[in-house]
Amino acid sequence: VSTEPGGVEPLPERFELRANYPNPFNPSTQVRFALPQASEVRLEVFDAAGRRVAVLAEGMRPAGVHTVNFEAGALSSGVYIARLTAPGFVQSRAMVLLK
C-alpha cells in the first residue's frame, strides 16, 4: 500500500479485512480493516468451535484504514477467526495464538 506525502494513506477503494500482525501472536495482535466509505461495521473473533470470543469493533466507522488491538491473554493457544461484517460485505481471516 502506497502512502501519500506526510504518511497519510489514501482512502481505500474497497472493503478489506487485512492480515493481522504479528501472526502467529502472543498475547496480542493488531487487526486492520479498510473502509472505502463510512459504514456500520462489526469485527468479531471466533474460536475453532465457532464460539464468539471477542467483539473488537462495532458501530459506525469513517472511511479509511482502522487498526484495533486483540488481547488474547486469557485464551488458549489455537486458531481463531476474525470476521469483518459491513453492509454487503463479509470477510474472515485466520489468526494463530501460540503460547
Confidence of residue 6 (pLDDT cuts 50, 70, 90): low
The pLDDT value recorded for residue 20 is 97
Mean pLDDT within 13-20: 96
User: What is the rounded CA–CA span in Å between residue 96 and residue 43?
Assistant: 17
Going by the DSSP 8-state scheme, the letter that residue 95 receives in this structure is E
Confidence of residue 54 (pLDDT cuts 50, 70, 90): very high
Report the share of the chain in percent with pLDDT over 90.
89
